[in-house]
Amino acid sequence: MNFEAYSYFAIILSGFVAVWMYRHSSKSQSKISDFEYLGWSAFWGLAILTSFQLIAKLFHTVPEGLTKLFGNPFATGLLMSILGLVGGICGGIGARDIKK
C-alpha cells in the first residue's frame, strides 16, 4: 500500500469524521467550503493520530495486535475514524453547552 492511501485512510478520513460530527452535534449553522473541510480534516486527523501515538508511548507497551493493525491502512482508518467520531461528538456537545 502506498503512502497516499495510508495517509488518506488514517488522517483525512478520521479528521473528516471528527469535523463532521463536531459540526452536527454542536448544531453549527455556518457553511464552510470543501477546502475548509479538507484543511480542518487534515489538522484534526493529525491531532488524533498524534494523540493516539502519545498515549501508546505513555504506556510503554504496544500490544502486538495493535502493531499489526497499523500495518493495515483500512483497519487503521477505521480505528482512527472511531476515535474521531467520539472526539467530535464530545467536542460538539461541549461547544453546544458552552454556547447556551
pLDDT, tens digit (0-9, with 9 covering 90-100), for 24-74 = 998 888 888 989 989 999 999 889 888 877 777 776 666 676 667 777 777
Task: Give residue 53's identity as a one-letter amino acid code.
Answer: Q
- The number of domains in the chain is 1
pLDDT at 16 over 70: yes
Q: Which among 71, 84, 87 is positioned nearest to 6, based on CA atoms?
A: 71
pLDDT at position 22: 92
pLDDT at 19 over 90: yes
3-state SS assignment for residue 44:
helix
pLDDT at 12 over 90: no
Range of the domain at 10: 3-99
User: How many C-beta neighbours within 10 Å does residue 13 have?
Assistant: 21
**The three grid cell numbers given for residue 36, joined into one nine-digit string:** 475548509
CA atoms of 87 and 93, how far apart (whole Å)? 10
